[in-house]
Amino acid sequence: MQIVTEVSRRVCLCLHLIISTMLVLCPVSTAAQVSNPVATNTPKAPEQAVQIDPAPSDTAIEQRIESILNATGWYSEVGARVDEGVVFLDGVTATEAYRTWARDLASKTDGVVAIVNRITVREVVIWSLAPALEELENVAQKTVAALPLIVLAVLV
């Protein structure tokens, strides 16, 4: 009995040492386990301010913002109007993330004091009858293949 107790004590001690060593040498990072719910293709606003000449005019701000928005290709019917540093953004985009990006871009532009974001989100609905038609075609093919058996069953 004493030998069994000594062996189990040594086994427990070995297991304790192995587990302690693993915890010290292989720390678990909880940051790696947290999933990021934001889409990886979500656009990020520019980190730096968008610079325009030392004293930007409303026209210069308007032209700069419009040219950047047009360059992305994310917007249709895009327009920017500036009045006393207040930017009015107009247009249509496919996602809320693009709408937010445009606002963030305007806010980082030199000389802008406020933004009125009137860009609308018109999400593209992509649906097709192709899967239904394909399935209908498969059913028709199976029916034609089974037709000889059906005719034979009716005759008998």
Summarised one tens digit per residue, pLDDT across range 17-72 is 566 665 656 555 444 444 444 455 777 766 766 666 566 788 999 999 999 999 99
pLDDT score for 50:
65
pLDDT score for 129:
79
Instruction: State how far the Cα of 31 lies from the Cα of 19, in Å rounded to an integer.
Output: 22
Q: Which domains does the chain have, with CATH numbers?
A: 58-121 (3.30.1340.30)
Judge contact between 103 and 89, C-beta under 8 A. yes
Instruction: State how far the Cα of 129 lies from the Cα of 150, in Å rounded to an integer.
Output: 30
- Reported as a single tens digit per residue, the pLDDT across 90-135 is 999 999 999 999 999 999 988 899 999 999 998 776 777 778 888 9
pLDDT score for 33:
45
Distances (CA, A) of 120 to 55, 89, 93, 99, 127: 31, 10, 6, 7, 22
Is it the case that residue 146 has pLDDT exceeding 90? no
Structure tokens at 48: 């730096």
pLDDT score for 34:
44
pLDDT score for 87:
94
pLDDT score for 74:
92
